Amino acid sequence: MPVSSEPSLADMAASLYLSRKANAQRAVNAGQTTPPQADRALHPWLAIACLCGADLPELRELIAQEREGRAIHGVDTPVSETRARRTIADNICPRERWAKVLTRARDKALDAGGKSPEALALYRLSLALAFDPNGHHIPPYGAAHTPIAEAA
């Protein structure tokens, strides 16, 4: 069976978060923003990374604590990692906010040519996270040509 050289959603989401974290730190160091503002701007990307299964130091302890379980009728019931990640992501940044941030970033990257690894990652994350049963969908990219269609 061939092994894919394509990065996983977790790897792509982690990379996008870490790239934005580095940019935020540079902006703080240059006096262009404050640390709290930079941190708030990172919340959507950390929530996305959390949902996609990224292994980030910022998430490890939160996930471990959430997975320890909840007392339900006096019995500790462990929580699955998927459920823990959904809860943590919602606490970091609600879907209605991060979905808009992801859509804008995706559209901007694709409108600029859409050939970079970041553009493809944004597009793939948007597809993977597109549906929400509560109605906060990520709309499809409007252009006729998409990175995935062009690659086929």
Residue 152 is assigned to a structural domain of this protein: no
Residue 3 is assigned to a structural domain of this protein: no
Q: What is the rounded distance in angstroms from the CA atom of residue 87 to the CA atom of residue 42? A: 18
Could you list the residue range(s) of the whole structural domain that residue 102 is in? 9-141
Residue 126 is assigned to a structural domain of this protein: yes
Beta strands in the chain, from DSSP E residues, in sequence order: 70-72, 75-77
Residue 80 is assigned to a structural domain of this protein: yes
Least confident of 25-29, 64-68, 69-73: 69-73
Residue 37 is assigned to a structural domain of this protein: yes
Residue 110 is assigned to a structural domain of this protein: yes
What's the confidence (pLDDT) of residue 146? 59
What is the maximal distance between C-alpha atoms in the chain?
56
118 touches 102 (CB < 8 A): no
Model confidence over 1-44: pLDDT tens digits?
Answer: 555 578 899 999 999 999 999 999 999 999 999 999 999 999 99
Record the tokens describing residue 119, joined without a space. Answer: 């553009």
Number of domains in the chain: 1
Distances (CA, A) of 68 to 43, 58, 76: 24, 17, 8
Q: What is the dihedral of CA 86, 11, 123, 62, to 10 degrees?
A: 20
Cα-to-chain-centroid distance, residue 58: 13
Give the phi and the psi of residue 95 in degrees, each rounded to 5.
Answer: -55, -40
